[in-house]
């Protein structure tokens, strides 16, 4: 405490725009994001470029002398030829033609030096831009341990650009990058001064030959093949062991999402309930207190409670991705997924969707093929997310007797639950098939998947991911969910009669419920279910709390009072129809919001919402009419 040295404090302020901007460019798997994380730490945010689905991170790097720069982590590209959206974005930003993004003042070109021959090809078009550039040769530790070498000074002399040999993973040599950032901040970073002739840019063989030539003159010796990666692959991609390990990994993720997260979620629920109790005691009785507790605390709390589950899921995905196993999982899943017009990389997002569609849709970013990515986004909400569970639990417990079917462990209720999972999964696959053979039909786009070497994931990188995801999730809970909870509570307590809140049936909410009743009557739903459906637009599980309020019972899926009340008030056809409705309908504003963000517009979320709601309505109608006539 006593030794006070002027530690630089990170501040992202209004002056951000006037900061010197440095772009990080490099091929996929070059360790670009690892370096970005190391330079910016927690001072970063995710954003989408206007009008495109490509996301990018920006963050500030603070130099030792306290000056800061804005770093932009551009999408990984193999060339600057605009064939994919990623390449188009990178090219536009570097050319200064991306609206809202200034042309970078300097470039960090990150290349994997264990694969320098191929990666150095990208140096030609980047140096051609005439922006001060540092060539960062990453993975120096790997190069050394596998017996390769390169002379960074000889490379710098040839290319006329500074070269740093670093390991973003261990931090070795990163100070050279900071020095370059310092010179970029002072405006003294040198422009490219040609010593070697650059190749003709659109001739790939000549670019590749140029790279070999330049590498050779910098005494580049390619490293030996990664022995451990090959050993691990002979296990993970073994014809028999491979699929077994894959299945175990999937089951492990599932088990963690459902069972592992349970105590944490219960703990958080208790915390929310107890803190709600404290606030109740602190405040004098007033409508405001009721709004705060019944509206805000319960409404927002019912969503925040899913935070541990979502973070665990992202921890898993982070470990799988950073270790390199995700690429192998995508390879193993590809054949099965291709039968439905999808591809291997769709597998993990769809698995994630069993926890929650929101992180799943964010996880589709690993799919480069845009049409495959949109198709995956569109079917992800069909997967039975955990928010459907309280609804399913309530209705199944109220209407389906717990008779054993296959021994004492597998009863009618479990069968109903499993059936709903299967129904959602089939709807997803059928939808994918239809989409991929109609509006999202891709021309011939090959499936290309690079298998990165295996690596230990770092705590730092995993931690940054989790913070990122938690931030996004809580921001949503604090805005959309908060607003809906407050509006619902207010509408349930208006109009006031003699200063008293009305019975819920006579409130605005009740009026709305009765207005839509003719529409939902054929599905076997009454106005109370209608109110529940409207309130569940915020988040599916909200219907349980709403029905609790309407029936004057505890709003809890395990509440026997609520089960009995529903059993009295709803036909069996209506109950089955309600289950089917929840299996198919996109009753989740958070998902709509994230689809809008990830697809860069309202087109896809509107199509998706309309499609899913129509499917839900038609199927629920069919189920109710069928059950009414048959039973």
Partner 1 sequence: MQLSFKSAAGPDGHLAASKRHLAELRPGETAVLEALDLPDDIARRLMELGFLPGHSITRSHSAPGGDPRVFRVDGSEIALRRETACRLWVKPALIAAD
Q: How far is the CB of 353 from partner 1 (least distance, A)?
A: 23
A 10 A CB-CB count for 307 gives 18
Token digits of residue 536: 């569940």
Nearest to 597 by CA among 44, 47, 92: 47
Site for partner 1 in 233-272 (CB under 8 A): 233-234, 237, 239-240, 242-243
Instruction: Kindly write out the interface string for residues 430-469 of this chain, putting x where it contacts partner 1 by CB under 8 A and - elsewhere.
Output: --------------xxxxxxxx------------------
Q: How far is the CB of 144 from partner 1 (least distance, A)?
A: 16
Indicate the residue among 78 and 551 with the shorter CB distance to partner 1: 78
Which residues, 6+ apart, have CB-to-CB distance to 407 below 8 Å?
Answer: none
Q: How far is the CB of 249 from partner 1 (least distance, A)?
A: 14
Site for partner 1 in 105-124 (CB under 8 A): 114-115, 117-118, 121
Indicate the residue among 82 and 522 with the shorter CB distance to partner 1: 82
Each as own residue / partner, the long-range contacts of residues 38-47 (CB below 8 Å, 24 or more positions apart, any chain) are 38/168, 38/171, 38/174, 38/460, 39/71, 39/174, 39/177, 39/178, 39/181, 40/71, 41/10, 41/464, 42/10, 42/464, 42/467, 43/10, 43/12, 44/464, 46/468, 46/472
Q: Which of 55, 334, 556, 569 binds partner 1 (CB under 8 A)?
A: 334
Q: How far is the CB of 321 from partner 1 (least distance, A)?
A: 16
Q: What is the phi-psi region of residue 608: left when phi exceeds 0, alpha when psi lies from -120 to 50, beta otherwise? A: alpha
Token digits of residue 275: 């803190």
Token digits of residue 612: 């899913």
Site for partner 1 in 165-224 (CB under 8 A): 204-205, 208, 222
* Cis status, amide bond into 495, omega within 30 of 0: yes
The answer to whether 499 contacts partner 1 (rule: CB under 8 A) is no
Q: How far is the CB of 391 from partner 1 (least distance, A)?
A: 37
Sequential DSSP letters for 6-71: --------GGGGGS-EEEEE--TTSSHHHHHHHHHTTSEEEEEPTTSS-EEEEEEEE-TTS-EEEE
Q: How far is the CB of 455 from partner 1 (least distance, A)?
A: 14
Q: How far is the CB of 601 from partner 1 (least distance, A)?
A: 26
Is there a contact between 304 and 275 (Cβ–Cβ < 8 Å)?
A: no
Which 8-state DSSP code applies to residue 497?
Answer: B
Indicate the residue among 90 and 114 with the shorter CB distance to partner 1: 114
Indicate the residue among 143 and 396 with the shorter CB distance to partner 1: 143
Token digits of residue 130: 């005439």
Q: How far is the CB of 322 from partner 1 (least distance, A)?
A: 18
Indicate the residue among 335 and 441 with the shorter CB distance to partner 1: 335
Indicate the residue among 29 and 183 with the shorter CB distance to partner 1: 29
Token digits of residue 242: 């491979």
Indicate the residue among 243 and 287 with the shorter CB distance to partner 1: 243
Instruction: Kindly write out the interface string for residues 68-107 of this chain, putting x where it contacts partner 1 by CB under 8 A and - elsewhere.
Output: ----------xx-x-x------------------------
Residue 219 phi, psi (nearest 5): 45, 45
Which residues, 6+ apart, have CB-to-CB distance to 263 below 8 Å?
Answer: none
Q: How far is the CB of 74 from partner 1 (least distance, A)?
A: 17
Q: How far is the CB of 33 from partner 1 (least distance, A)?
A: 18
Distances in Å between the Cα of 459 and the Cα atoms of 74, 226, 326, 381 are 23, 23, 18, 31
Q: For partner 1, how many residues bind (rule: CB under 8 A)?
A: 36
Between CA 482 and CA 304 the distance in angstroms is 11
Indicate the residue among 335 and 475 with the shorter CB distance to partner 1: 335
Indicate the residue among 118 and 365 with the shorter CB distance to partner 1: 118
Indicate the residue among 341 and 573 with the shorter CB distance to partner 1: 341
Indicate the residue among 120 and 304 with the shorter CB distance to partner 1: 120
Q: What is the phi-psi region of residue 578: left when phi exceeds 0, alpha when psi lies from -120 to 50, beta otherwise? A: alpha
Q: How far is the CB of 445 from partner 1 (least distance, A)?
A: 7
Is there a contact between 136 and 155 (Cβ–Cβ < 8 Å)?
A: no
Q: Which of 48, 256, 269, 338 binds partner 1 (CB under 8 A)?
A: 338
Binding site for partner 1 (CB under 8 A): 78-79, 81, 83, 114-115, 117-118, 121, 204-205, 208, 222, 225, 233-234, 237, 239-240, 242-243, 327, 331-332, 334-335, 338, 344, 444-451
């Amino acid at each position: 405490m006593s030794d006070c040295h002027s530690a630089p404090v990170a501040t992202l302020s209004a002056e951000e725009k006037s900061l010197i901007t440095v772009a990080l460019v490099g091929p996929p798997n070059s360790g670009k994001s690892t370096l970005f994380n190391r330079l910016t730490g927690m001072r970063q945010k995710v954003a989408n470029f206007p009008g495109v689905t490509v996301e990018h991170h920006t963050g500030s790097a603070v130099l030792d002398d306290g000056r800061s720069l804005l770093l932009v982590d551009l999408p990984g590209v193999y060339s600057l030829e605009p064939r994919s959206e990623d390449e188009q974005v990178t090219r536009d930003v570097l050319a200064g033609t991306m609206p809202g993004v200034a042309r970078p003042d300097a470039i960090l070109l990150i290349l994997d030096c264990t694969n320098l021959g191929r990666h150095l090809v990208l140096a030609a078009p980047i140096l051609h831009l005439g922006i001060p550039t540092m060539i960062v040769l990453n993975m120096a530790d790997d190069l050394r341990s596998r017996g390769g070498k390169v002379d960074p000074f000889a490379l710098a002399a040839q290319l006329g650009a500074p070269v740093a040999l670093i390991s973003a993973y261990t931090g070795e040599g990163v100070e050279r990058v900071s020095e370059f950032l310092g010179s970029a901040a002072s405006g003294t970073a040198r422009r490219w001064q040609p010593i070697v002739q650059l190749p003709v840019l659109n001739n790939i063989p000549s670019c590749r030959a140029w790279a070999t030539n330049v590498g050779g003159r910098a005494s580049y010796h390619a490293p030996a093949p990664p022995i451990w990666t090959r050993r691990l692959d002979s296990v993970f991609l073994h014809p028999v062991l491979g699929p077994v390990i894959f299945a175990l990994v999937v089951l492990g993720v599932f088990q963690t999402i459902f069972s592992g997260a349970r105590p944490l979620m219960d703990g958080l629920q208790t915390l929310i309930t107890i803190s709600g109790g404290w606030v109740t005691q602190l405040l004098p009785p007033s409508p405001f207190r009721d709004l705060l507790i019944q509206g805000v605390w319960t409404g927002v709390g019912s969503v925040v409670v899913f935070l541990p589950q979502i973070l665990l899921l992202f921890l898993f995905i982070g470990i799988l991705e950073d270790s390199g196993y995700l690429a192998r999982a995508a390879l193993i899943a590809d054949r099965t997924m291709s039968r439905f017009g999808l591809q291997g990389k769709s597998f993990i997002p769809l698995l994630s969707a069993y926890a929650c569609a929101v992180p799943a849709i964010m996880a589709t970013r690993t799919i480069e093929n845009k049409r495959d990515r949109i198709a995956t986004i569109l079917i992800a909400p069909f997967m039975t997310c955990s928010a459907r569970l309280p609804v399913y639990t309530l209705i199944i417990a109220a209407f389906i007797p717990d008779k054993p079917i296959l021994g004492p462990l597998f009863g009618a209720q479990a069968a109903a639950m499993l059936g709903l999972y299967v129904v959602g999964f089939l709807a997803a696959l059928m939808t994918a098939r239809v989409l991929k053979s109609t509006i999202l039909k891709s021309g011939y786009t090959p499936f290309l998947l690079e298998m990165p070497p295996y690596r230990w994931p770092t705590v730092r990188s995993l931690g940054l991911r989790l913070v990122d995801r938690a931030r996004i999730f809580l921001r949503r809970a604090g805005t959309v969910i908060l607003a809906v909870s407050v509006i619902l509570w207010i509408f349930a307590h208006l109009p006031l009669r003699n200063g008293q809140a009305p019975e819920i049936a006579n409130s605005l909410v009740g009026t709305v419920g009765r207005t839509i009743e003719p529409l939902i009557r054929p599905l076997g739903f009454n106005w109370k279910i209608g109110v529940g459906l409207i309130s569940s637009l915020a988040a599916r599980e909200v219907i349980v709390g709403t029905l609790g309020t309407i029936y004057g019972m505890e709003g809890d899926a395990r509440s026997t009072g609520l089960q009995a009340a529903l059993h009295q008030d709803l036909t069996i056809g209506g109950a089955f129809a309600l289950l089917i409705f929840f299996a198919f309908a996109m009753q989740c504003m958070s998902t709509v919001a994230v689809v809008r963000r990830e697809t860069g517009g309202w087109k896809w979320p509107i199509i998706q919402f309309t499609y899913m709601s129509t499917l839900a309505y038609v199927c629920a109608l069919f189920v109710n009419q069928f059950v009414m006539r048959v039973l």
